[in-house]
Structure 1
Amino acid sequence: MSIGRVVFFSAAKGYGFIKSEDDGSEHFVHLTSVKAAGLSVLRSGQQVSYQLLVARNGKVSAVDLALLD
């Protein structure tokens, strides 16, 4: 489980980015992962925990989100 802060999220665009507190890398997060967590949006600065999923095409995205603050 990784921990990070939301850098950007747009429900209209359907995606955003989370910056990892471990190594400072940014991870893509899709609206479907946000909705699967029972949330409607993420706000910049929110702390979240998440798992990283590597798709068949090699792209990495944040899934299994949970708000920490």
Structure 2
Amino acid sequence: MNTGTVKWFNERKGYGFIVPDDGGDDLFVHHSEIQSEGRASLDEGQKVEYEIGKGEKDRPCAIQVRPC
């Protein structure tokens, strides 16, 4: 499981980006990949755990995202 910090998340649009703790490019995260009770949203600066999947055009993205 990878860890990172939410750079920003737009609740209205349903997506945002995570900065990986181990460096590298920011990862796109879609609200449908957030594993939490209640609202599927993230807060700026929030620590999260995630797996890396493939998004559009085979670009890496965060999947199975959950708060730490």
> Which TM-score bucket, shorter chain as reference?
0.7 to 0.9
| Whole-angstrom distance in 2 between the partners of 1:56 and 1:4 | 21
Partner of 1:59: 59
4+ residue stretches of structure 1 with deviation over 3 A? none
- SS of the residue aligned with 1:57? helix
Provide the identity percentage. Answer: 32
Partner of 2:44: 44
Distance apart, 1:31 and its partner CA: 1.0
- 8 A Cα contact 2:54 2:61, kept in partner: yes
| Whole-angstrom distance in 2 between the partners of 1:66 and 1:14 | 15
Unaligned runs of 5+ in 1: none
Q: How many residues align?
A: 66
Deviations 1:12-53 (A, max 9, x none): 11100000010142000001112xx02521000000010000
- SS of the residue aligned with 2:36? coil
Compute the TM-score of the two structures, normalised by the length of structure 1: 0.83
Distance apart, 1:8 and its partner CA: 0.4
- 8 A Cα contact 2:36 2:66, kept in partner: no
